[in-house]
Structure 1
Amino acid sequence: METKNNLEVIDDLLKSEKAEQARSLFENLEEQNTADYFLLQGKIEQKYQNWGKAINAFNRVLEIDPQNAEATNNLHIIKNILNFWNPDLLNP
C-alpha cells in the first residue's frame, strides 16, 4: 500500500513540474512489475527526452495492461516526435 502512495506522490510531483524531485524519489523505489510503476517510469523518461527508455517502459505497461490508454497515447506522441520531419530545414 505504501508503494502505491509513493507512486501517487511521484506522479503529483511530475504534474506540478517538479521532475527532479520525482526522478529522485522514483530512483529510490524498489522495482515492481506493475503497470503503474512502468507508466510512471515512462513518464519520467519522456520528461527527460530519453525516448528509448520511455518507449520500453510504455511497452512494458502494454504487456501488463494491453488496454492502457495513457501508455498508448504516450507511445503515439513519442513516435510523432521521433518521426517529425521538416523539409524547410533542408532548404536554407
Structure 2
Amino acid sequence: MENINIEKLIEEHRLDEALEALNARLESNKSVKNLLLGGKITMMQQKYGDSLNFFYKVLEIEPDNVEAQSKISSIRGILNITNSFYFENTYLDSSLYE
C-alpha cells in the first residue's frame, strides 16, 4: 500500500481509501508531511476531532508549524459556528413550530 499515490486519491475524492493508505504509511513514517496530510483528509471528511489530533501531533514535532496552527484555528472557528447555530440561534424558537 506504500506505493499508492495518496494525493491522487484525494483529487479523485476517494478519501476513505486515501486515509487508509496514509494510516498504513504512518505506521512506519510519522513525518510532519504525513500528519498534515492526515489532518487535511479528515478535515475534508468533516471529522474535526480526528483532524485536530493530526494537527496537534504536528505541533508536538514542530511547535511553530504555521500550517498546523492555522488549520487548528480554522477547525475551532467551524466548531464555534456550528455550536452557535445549534445552541444560540434565535431562529430556533418555539414560534417556528406553531
Percent sequence identity is: 31
Q: Which of the residues 21, 25, 37 maps onto 1:29?
A: 25
Counting matched residue pairs gives: 87
Q: Normalized against structure 2, the TM-score is what?
A: 0.68
Please show how residues 2-81 of structure 1 align to structure 2 within 5 Å.
9-15=5-11, 17-31=13-27, 32-81=29-78
Q: Normalized against structure 1, the TM-score is what?
A: 0.72
- The two structures, once aligned, show a CA RMSD in angstroms of 2.3
Runs of 4+ in 1 over 4 A off after TM superposition: none
Question: Cα distance 1:21–1:33, how it changes in 2: closer, same or farther (>3 A)?
Answer: closer
Of structures 1 and 2, the larger Rg is shown by 2
Runs of 5+ unmatched residues, structure 1: none
Q: CA deviation at 1:23?
A: 2.3
Which position in structure 2 is the counterpart of 1:90? Answer: 92
Q: Distance in 2 between matches of 1:78 and 1:52?
A: 9
Question: Cα distance 1:51–1:83, how it changes in 2: closer, same or farther (>3 A)?
Answer: same
Question: Cα distance 1:83–1:30, how it changes in 2: closer, same or farther (>3 A)?
Answer: closer
